Amino acid sequence: MAVKVAINGFGTIGKRVAEAIVKQDDMELIGVTKTRPDYLAMAASKRGLLYVPENKLEDFKKADLEVAGTIDELFQKVDVVVDATPGGVGKEYKPLYEKYGVRAIFQGGEKHEVAGFSFSTLCNYDDAKDKQFVRVVSCNTTGLLRLLCTLNKEFGVERVRATIVRRGADPHETKKGPIDAIVPNPVTLPSHHGIDVRTVLPVDIATTAVVVPTTLMHVHVVNVILKEEVSRDQVIEALNKAPRILLVPTKISGIKDTAKLIEMARDMGRKRHDLYELAVFEESISVNGKELFLMQAVHQESIVTPENVDAIRAMFGLATKEESIRKTDESLGLVR
Ligand code: NAD
């Protein structure tokens, strides 16, 4: 029987996960929540999927939007809630999930402790089985973990130092910046990204971060000390074998930057230019004994979509890791 899923927080991440759930043959989307009537609420209402807080029913009535029920009613109808509310709001909902005995998947904006278990498919899929609460790590952490768990499995990872060049805002976020600055954020070292990696992969890692005026993607400049000496070809072979990592040969493809990566996603017909794959610039891969350098790009709005789908299969024991990756990636059209 299909696992019944609710999406709480129907924004950047929530709407993508909702659409991905609809594409799975072992999951059923029962409803999404909105706290304010807007165009997304209208779309959900037309499909009979709109659930709202009880104290907001009147607002939706005034906006002439039909609702299928209250948020509390939704949580009682489903097996799992994907909580994609803004960072920090998910923890406020946890008591409600506990009250109704429903499982929940939090996002990277929540602290690890909220779920007590942080998830990334390539690293710890099997450990999510039977958990009530799981947290899918953030976009940057997902990008780092796809790389590091692949390298760790093949060669062992001794130490990681990385700089995260973060996008200033998502494309629709008109009130965020910077518009004309490069902002060390945080200015104190290390940044939280490496600390977050360690909630999944216990490795010596330190990261720094700067925010730049772009909306499209993040870029990571990564330096890894491996446990054994490797050749560049071995690294390329390992990354080529791994799912969800796309090696981009910049010279022959002409894709030399994040703008062109996003243009490629558009030309591939990806909805909202979503690029679920971690994009590694192939020519940036450089090896010296045990030391590896590379640069990679993360489409922040979409990279965690496949991991949210896998997290449901992992929690409910619906499929093996390999089977889940195959089903998720085929349904979303990943090329790697
Ligand atoms: P968002 O602001 O785009 O969407 C959040 C949605 O939740 C909005 O529709 C908002 O109206 C709704 N909401 C607000 N308060 C609510 C409440 N009390 N109850 C129900 N719904 C409520 O945010 P987002 O970017 O989708 O982020 C969601 C989570 O995903 C955060 O934890 C974030 O850190 C994480 N995340 C974001 C990105 C990204 O780049 N946007 C990437 C990975 C992970």
| CA 89 to centroid of ligand 1, rounded, Å | 9
Same domain? For 133 and 147 the reply is: no
pTM of the model: 0.98
pLDDT of residue 336 exceeding 90: no
Please state, in angstroms and rounded to a whole number, the distance separating the CA atoms of residues 152 and 64.
54
Q: Which domain holds residue 256?
A: 139-298
Helix segments in the chain, DSSP class H: 12-22, 39-46, 57-62, 71-77, 90-100, 112-115, 121-124, 139-154, 192-197, 232-241, 250-253, 258-267, 305-316, 321-332
Same domain? For 30 and 103 the reply is: yes
Same domain? For 133 and 143 the reply is: no
What's the average model confidence in pLDDT over 201-206?
Answer: 98
Same domain? For 165 and 257 the reply is: yes
Please state, in angstroms and rounded to a whole number, the distance separating the CA atoms of residues 336 and 330.
10
| CA 263 to centroid of ligand 1, rounded, Å | 25
> What is the domain-level CATH number for residue 128?
3.40.50.720
Same domain? For 223 and 320 the reply is: no
Please state, in angstroms and rounded to a whole number, the distance separating the CA atoms of residues 10 and 74.
14
Please state, in angstroms and rounded to a whole number, the distance separating the CA atoms of residues 309 and 329.
10
In this structure, are residues 335 and 246 in contact, taking their beta carbons and an 8 Å threshold?
yes
Q: Which pLDDT belongs to residue 128? A: 98
Going by pLDDT thresholds of 50, 70 and 90, the confidence category of residue 1 is confident
pLDDT (tens digit, 9 = 90+) per residue, 251-286?
A: 999 999 999 999 999 999 999 999 999 999 999 999
In this structure, are residues 193 and 203 in contact, taking their beta carbons and an 8 Å threshold?
no
* Sign of the dihedral through C-alpha 50, 53, 55, 59: negative
Same domain? For 282 and 152 the reply is: yes
In this structure, are residues 244 and 336 in contact, taking their beta carbons and an 8 Å threshold?
yes
Same domain? For 328 and 281 the reply is: no
Same domain? For 113 and 187 the reply is: no
Please state, in angstroms and rounded to a whole number, the distance separating the CA atoms of residues 189 and 192.
9
Same domain? For 216 and 320 the reply is: no
Q: Determine the residue type at 245.
A: I
Same domain? For 24 and 132 the reply is: yes
What's the average model confidence in pLDDT over 78-107?
Answer: 98
| CA 138 to centroid of ligand 1, rounded, Å | 12
DSSP 215: S
Same domain? For 122 and 177 the reply is: no
Q: Across the chain, what does the average pLDDT equal?
A: 98
Closest CA to 265 of 277, 278, 274, 256: 274
**Maximum C-alpha span of the chain:** 67
- For the chain, what is the domain count? 2
Ligand 1 first shell, C-beta below 6 A: 8-14, 33, 35, 84-87, 89, 107-110, 138-139, 170, 300-301, 304
> What is the domain-level CATH number for residue 146?
3.30.360.10
The torsion region of residue 131 among left (phi > 0), alpha (psi -120 to 50) and beta comes to beta
Query: Which atom of ligand 1 is found nearest the CA of 85?
Result: 7
* Sign of the dihedral through C-alpha 116, 3, 336, 220: negative
Please state, in angstroms and rounded to a whole number, the distance separating the CA atoms of residues 65 and 52.
11
Same domain? For 192 and 294 the reply is: yes
- DSSP string over 130-190: T-SEEEE--HHHHHHHHHHHHHHHHT-EEEEEEEEEEESS-TT-TT---SS--EESSSSSS
Catalytic residue positions, numbered: 139
pLDDT (tens digit, 9 = 90+) per residue, 22-53?
A: 999 999 999 999 999 999 999 999 999 999 99
